[in-house]
Structure 1
Amino acid sequence: MPDVKPPTTPALRKDTTTTTAPVDHGEPLLPDDEGKRIALRMRHAVVGFVDGPRDAVAEADQALEELAARLTEAMDRRRRTLRRSWQPADAAEYRPTTADTTTVDTATADTTTVDTTTADTATADTTTADTATVDTEQLRLTLRDYRELTERLLRL
């Protein structure tokens, strides 16, 4: 049987010596201690449901908000690392802003602002009315959804 040699053409050869960015395949986005702390906050909210259902849901909301912020920060760090691996050094810190990527038509923006304000007012009125009628079962289902979403995000 003839000896099989690895391909010698650059397109087919895997060269791992030129990697400039650290590769972190499969590593969690958050450090273990941070993920455990947020998971503990969520468990505390679930356990506290019996004594204060509305407070438990509010605590779950805050835990999910913190998790989302930490994940956003972690993804931004990883994206910057990836960007440094393919962009020239002077362009690595470039971050497009909304002004760089969006063209605003002032006539449309004014109309949108008015519509958004009207929609927010209507939503606020509905939310206030709904808050008084939310029963314990709805709070339980909401807390369950917060817990499930938090657990899914912690697995990332």
Structure 2
Amino acid sequence: MTYDPEHIQHPQDPNPDSTEQHISQAAFTEPGRAPGEPTVSGDDAHRTPGSELFSPGDRDKLTTLLQQALSTFVESPRQAVEEADHAFDTAATQLADALAERRRTLRAHWQGRDGTEPQTEELRLALRGYRESMERLLRI
């Protein structure tokens, strides 16, 4: 007996509209995303160079601040919470600064070009940068 994939019996889909939904979703392409281009996922594969919100050094410092706060809770709960508040405030300030810089970088790619209109590809890349940044921001 040989295997013939054309004659395999597939179970009947209980929802006949699911095939249409799958096809229509597969055909949908977001602005700024080429057909077949993956969405931003939890991994770092789609991040552009320099798109980190915190440098590794800043991330380590913030982690250390939080760990110090957590480790002092038993001996001094109020001090621990104050240290955690300071760590959070520092992280929020650095995040706001990083987002402002990211916005400046994105705008520079499509604005302020001596009155010339950017090319469609430049606009597509700018839109892609905005989309990736927003998706990352919304995952926070």
TM-score with structure 2 length normalisation?
0.46
Select the structure with the greater relative contact order (CA < 8 A; seq sep ≥ 6): 1
More helix by share: 1
